[in-house]
Chain A
Amino acid sequence: MAAAGYDYEEQGREQQDSVYDPNYVPDSVKSFVVHLYRHIREKNVYEIHQMYDTSFQTLSERHFKDTPWPSVDAVAHFVDNDHVFCLLYREMWFRHLYARLTPTLKQRIDSWDNYCNLFQVVLHGVVNMQLPNQWLWDMVDEFVYQFQSFCQYRAKMRNKSEQEIALLKQFDQAWNVYGVLNFLQALVEKSMIIEILEREKEGLEQFTATDGYDYSGGSNVLKVLGYFSMVGLLRVHCLLGDYHSGLKCLLPIDISQQGVYTSVIGSHITTIYHYGFANLMLRRYVDAIREFSKILLYIYKTKQYHQKSPQYEQILKKNEQMYALLGICLLLCPQVKLVDETVNSQLREKYGEKMGRMQRYDDEAFGVYDELFSYACPKFITPSAPCFEEPLLNYNQDAYRLQLKLFLYEVKQQQLLAGVRTFLKVYSTISLGKLANYMEVDEPTLRTILLTYKHKTHAVDSEGKIISNADVDFYIDDDMVRVVESKPAKRYGDYFLRQIVKLEGVINDMDRIKLE
C-alpha cells in the first residue's frame, strides 16, 4: 500500500484533547473488545449485533464523547493480536473519530490505508466471520462517505498548510477515485453477488430469504459487502454526476421488492434517495415519484422505532431532503395520483407554501428551485487531484455548481410548458387556431409548443422504450387538439382476484366454527 510504513505517532494529534491517552483502556472497553472478539469467533450474530449497535454507542457516549477510542495497539493483546479483528476495530475507531471530531489529513490517509487492508483481506477470501448486515452496510457507507469527505477537504486548497500539501503529494493514492471505484467493483465481482441474485430468481440459491446470512457455516462478509457495494457504486456515481452509470450499477437489485437492501434502514434510504435523485436528473419523474412516495410512507410509519438509533438524525435529514425532491418532481410532472395520501399531506405541510411560489414561474420561483435543489442534492465532488501550483484555488463548489446549473436549465425549459398545460386541462377538444389565440401565439409557434410538450413529457427508460410522464396528454388530428386525461389504470382484475381469495378465507373460517 502506498501509505504503509510511516511513523504512526508522528503527526496529526494536535487537534485532539491533550488529556487523551491512546494507551489507556478502561475496564469496560477491555470487556467490550474481549466479548466482541469472542462472539465473532463463535459466529454469534445476534450478540455481535447487540454489542456493535448498542454497547459501542453507550461506551462512546460514556467515555469517548470528544476523544477517540483507545488505539488499536492498546487493545490488540486482549484479542490475541488477531489481524482481522484489529482491522475491524480500527474501522470503527476511525468511524467514531469522523463522527465526533475533525479528522486530520494524516488520519484520513491512515483510514484509507485501513480500508485497503480490510478489503484486501475480505477479497482474498480469508475472512470466515459472520457479521451483522448493519455493520457491513456501515462499512460500505462509511467508505464512500470518507471518500466524499476527502474530496471536499482536498478541494479547499486555499487554506492548506505546507505540511498538508506535502502529505497530499506524498500520498496521492490515498482516496484516489480509481482506487475507491475499483475496490467497490472488486467486491461486487469477487462476491459473485450478481450471479447469486440471478440464480436466486431461478430458485437455485437463497440470499434474500436468509437476509444474506449463511446458515450452513460459511461467511456472509464478502457476499453482503459485494451486495452493498452496488449501492455504494450508485452513490459514488451520483456524487460524480454520472446518473446513468449509477443506475446501471443498481440494476441487479430489484428495488420494486423487499431485499437485503431493505434489511438495514440506512441502506434502504440511501438506495432510494440516490435512485430517485438519479431518475430526477434523467427526467424519469414518474419512477422517482413512485419510489420516493413509497419510502417516505415507510419512514412515516416506522420512524418511531429508530428514535434511539445513532442514525436517527440522518434518517430525519434524508426524509426532509426526499420530501424536497418529491416536491420538485411533482412540480415538473404533476402526477399527484402516484403519491400516497399521507405522504402528500406531509408534503403540503412541509413544502406547500414553497411549492406555491415555485409554480409562479418568475425569478423568485427560480430561486426556490435553486434553494430546494441545493438543500436536497448529494454533496457532489470533483474527483481529480488538485493543481498544486500557486495561486492555490478552492474548487470544492465546482461540481455542485455545474449540476445545479444544468438542473435549473431543465426547469427553465419545463416552465415553458406550464401555460399550455393549464389550457389542456380545461378543454377536451379545441382547435389549434382557438388555442393559439388564447395563448397569444401564432399557430406555427403553438405547434412547436405542443411538440415540446410531448418531448418533455415523454422520457426514455433504461431499455430505450418511450414512457409517458404526462398527467394531461393530447393528440392532434389535423387541426384539432384532442385532450386525454391520463387515468391510472384501475386494476379491477387484480382487485377481484384478491377479494375472491379473501372471501374463500372467510368462508373457510366460518366452516370451521362449530355451533353448539
Chain B
Amino acid sequence: MGREREPQKPQQQQPPQQQQQQVSYTVDQLVAINPYNPDILSELENNVNEQVSSQTYSLDANLCLLRFYQFEPERMSTQIVARILVKALMAMPAPDFGLCLFLIPERVQMEEQFKTLIVLSHYLEVCLCLCNFSCSNVWSERSFTYLFHLQTGRFRQFWDEAAKSRHIVEAVPGFEQAIQSYAIHLLSLTYQKVPRSVLAEAINVEGLSLDKFLEHLVANSGWILEKGHGKGQLIVLPRKEFNHPELKKNTADGIPLEHITRIFPILG
C-alpha cells in the first residue's frame, strides 16, 4: 500500500475490466469505492460540470474532489471550485457551503469570485439581519464592507447582489429556483400565515408571475389564499410540526411495540 503517486498516468493503472464497469457506476458509487484514490479526480471534475448542466447534485462527490484538491493543491481548478460552491449554496438550508469552505485554503477563498459567493452565503445564512453586526477582523475587510451597508437588509439584498454576480450564478441553471425553495422552506418553518408582500420579497417574484406561482402551489402543495384584514392577501402555509408545534407532541407520545412486549408475560 502507501499508494505510489503517479499523477501523470492515472488511467493506465486501472485494469481494463474495471474501466468498463465504471461506465455503469453512478458517481456516488464511484466515490464510495474510491474515496482516497486520486485517479478519479478528472472524472469528478467532469461530474461537477454534469451536475451543473443536468441540475443534479452530489455532496459526497464534491467533498471528495475538494479533498483531492486539498491533498494536491497544484491540481486545483478554481473554476470547478466555484461551481461546487454555487451548487452548495443551492443546497441551503443544508450546511454544505460551510462544509466546502472548511476544505478550501484561505488564500483561495480570498480570490474575488469566492468572496462574492461567500457574501451571498452570508445573506442567506443570516437572512440579512445584520443590525448588531459590529466591526471586527473576523472576516475580510471587503466582505465586511458589503455587510455593513446592509444594516436593514432583507432577502431583497440577496437578490440584488445575485443580480450583480450574474456571471457566476447564471452559469448554473436552477439557481433562482433553489434559493426560492430555501426561502419558502424558511417561511414555512416560521409562519402559519404569511403576508403576500413578505413572500413576494423573499422569493423575488411579483405581480402576475406571483399569482401564477401561487396558483401552482395552491393546486399542488396545499397552500391556501386568504383575505387579510385590509392589508392584502394572506397565504396559509401547510401545517408542519415547526409552525404548528402541537403536531410534534403526537409523534413523541407513541410507545414502540417491542417495549410493550416486555410486560406481556406479566399481563398474561
**Which A residues are closer than 8 A to B by beta carbons?**
1-2, 112, 116, 119-120, 123, 173, 176-179, 181-183, 185-186, 240-245, 248, 281-283, 361, 363, 366, 383-384, 398, 401-403, 405-406, 408-410, 412-413, 415-416, 419, 441-442, 444-445, 447-452, 454-456, 458-460, 464, 466, 468, 473, 475-478, 484, 489, 493-494, 497, 500-501, 504
Q: How far is the CB of A333 from chain B (nearest CB, A)?
A: 14
Q: Are B129 and A473 in contact (CB under 8 A)?
A: no
Contact check, B192 vs A493: say whether CB atoms are below 8 A apart.
no
Q: Which of B17-25, B79-87, B182-190 makes up part of the contact surface?
A: B182-190
Q: Is A183 in contact with B1, judged by CB distance below 8 angstroms?
A: yes
Determine whether the beta carbon of B259 is less than 8 Å from that of A458: no
Q: Which residues of B contact A178 (CB under 8 A)?
A: 3, 5, 36-38, 71
Q: Does B238 contact A (CB under 8 A)?
A: no
Q: How far is the CA of A281 from the CA of B98 in the complex (A)?
A: 9
Given contacts A402-B102, A419-B132, A497-B263, contact A242 B63 (CB under 8 A): yes
Residue contact A413 to B59, C-beta cutoff 8 Å = no
Please, which residue of chain A has its CB at the minimum distance from the CB of B244? Answer: A475
The CA-CA distance from A243 to B195 in the complex, in Å, is 39
Query: Closest CB of chain A to B41's CB: distance in Å?
Result: 12
Assembly CA distance A408 to B93 (angstroms): 20
Contact, CB under 8 Å: B2 / A116: yes
- A243 to B122 alpha-carbon distance, docked (Å): 21
Known: A173-B5, A447-B198. A478 touches B234 (CB 8 A): yes
Q: A182-B3, A476-B192, A494-B255 are in contact. Are A460 and B105 (CB under 8 A)?
A: no
Question: Could you list 9 A-B pairs, sorted by A, with CB under 8 Å?
Answer: A240-B67, A282-B99, A412-B133, A448-B154, A454-B189, A473-B242, A475-B191, A493-B259, A497-B259
- In the bound complex, do residue A451 and residue B1 qualify as a contact, i.e. CB atoms below 8 Å apart? no
Query: Is B128 on the interface with A (CB-CB < 8 A)?
Result: yes
Q: How far is the CB of A484 from chain B (nearest CB, A)?
A: 4
* CB closest chain-B residue, reference A123: B1
Are the C-beta atoms of B71 and A383 separated by less than 8 Å?
yes
Nearest B residue (CB) for A483: B245
Q: Which residues of chain A come closer than 8 Å to B30, judged between CB atoms?
A: none
Q: Are A460 and B186 in contact (CB under 8 A)?
A: no
In contact, A384 and B138 (Cβ under 8 angstroms): no
- Tally inter-chain residue pairs, CB-CB below 8 A: 201
Set of chain B residues within 8 Å of A283, measured between Cβ atoms: 95
Query: What are the residues of chain A within 8 A of B3 when measuring CB–CB?
Result: 173, 176, 178-179, 182
Least distance between B247 CB and chain A CB atoms (Å): 11
Is B222 interfacial (CB 8 A cutoff)?
no
Chain A residues lying within 8 Å of B262, measured Cβ to Cβ, are: 497, 501
> In the complex, are the beta carbons of B131 and A501 less than 8 A apart?
no
Q: Mark B30-69, 1 if CB is under 8 A from A, else 0.
A: 0000011110000000000000000000011001100100
- CB of B225 closer than 8 Å to a CB of A: no
Among A241, A363, A448, residue most surrounded by chain B Cβ atoms (within 10 Å): A448
Are A242 and B67 in contact, CB atoms less than 8 angstroms apart?
yes
Contact of A497 among B36, B105, B260 (CB under 8 A): B260
Main secondary structure of the interface of B (DSSP, over half): loop
Select from chain A the residue with minimum beta-carbon distance to B36. A181
Q: Contact at A458–B190, with CB atoms within 8 Å? A: no
Does the CB pair A282–B95 fall under 8 Å? yes
Q: In the complex, A450 Cα to B262 Cα: how many Å?
A: 45
Inter-chain contact B189/A458, CB cutoff 8 Å: yes
Contact call B244/A416, Cβ cutoff below 8 A: no
Using Cβ atoms and an 8 Å threshold, which residues of chain B touch A1? 2
| Interfacial chain B residues near A410, Cβ < 8 Å | 98
B125 within 8 A of A: yes
- Decide: A416 near B129, CB < 8 A? Known: A445-B154, A489-B252: yes
Q: Is the CB of B138 within 8 A of A409?
A: yes
A178 to chain B, nearest CB (A): 5
Interface flag for B243 (CB, 8 Å): yes
Contact of A2 among B2, B101, B129, B260 (CB under 8 A): B2
Check: B136 CB closer than 8 A to any chain A CB.
yes
Report Cα–Cα, A112/B2, bound state, in Å.
Answer: 10
Residue B70 at the chain A interface, CB threshold 8 Å: yes
- Among B2, B3, B127, max chain A CB count under 10 A is at B2
How far, in angstroms, from A291 to B30 measured CA to CA in the complex? 33
Chain B residues 213-268 with CB under 8 Å of chain A are 228, 234, 242-245, 249, 252-255, 259-260, 262-263, 266
Contact (Cβ within 8 A) B1 A116: yes
Taking CB atoms and an 8 Å cut-off, the chain B residues in 169-211 that contact chain A are 186-187, 189-195, 198
- From B99, B127, B253, residue with most partner A Cβ within 10 Å: B127
B265 CB, min distance to chain A CBs, angstroms: 8
Q: Which residue of B lies closest to A449 (CB)?
A: B129
Query: A500 to B264, alpha carbons, bound, how many Å?
Result: 11
Binary flags per residue of B132-154, CB closer than 8 Å to A gives 1, else 0: 11101011000000000000111
A416 touches B253 (CB 8 A): no
| Smallest beta-carbon distance A285→chain B, Å | 12
Contact status B129-A477, CB under 8 Å? no
When C-beta atoms are compared, the residue in chain B nearest to A414 turns out to be: B126
Partner of A451, one of B2, B122, B190, B260: B190
- Are the CB atoms of B70 and A441 closer together than 8 Å? no
* Residues of A with C-beta under 8 A to B94: 460, 464
In the bound complex, do residue A450 and residue B190 qualify as a contact, i.e. CB atoms below 8 Å apart?
A: yes
Min Cβ gap A312→B in Å is 33
A465 to chain B, nearest CB (A): 11
Q: Is the CB of B190 within 8 A of A476?
A: yes
- How distant is B87 from chain A, measured CB to nearest CB, in Å? 15
A244 vs B31: C-alpha distance in the bound complex, in angstroms?
14
Q: Which of A120, A448, A456, A489 meets B155, CB within 8 Å?
A: A448
- Give the chain A neighbours of B2 by CB distance below 8 A: 1-2, 112, 116, 173, 176, 179, 182-183
- Distance between A217 CB and nearest chain B CB, rounded to angstroms: 28
Rounded to whole Å, the gap between the CB of A114 and the closest CB of chain B is 12
Closest to B195 in A: A478
Nearest chain A CB to B134 CB, angstrom units:
8
B111 at the interface (CB under 8 A from A): no
Q: How far is the CB of B180 from chain A (nearest CB, A)?
A: 14
Residues of A within 8 A of B155 (CB): 448
Give bound CA distance, A234 to B187, whole Å. 35
| 0/1 interface trace, chain B 92-117, chain A, CB 8 Å (1 if under) | 01110011011101100000000000
The contact of B263 among A245, A408, A409, A501, by CB within 8 Å, is A501
Closest to A248 in B: B60
CB distance from B13 to the nearest CB of A (A): 13
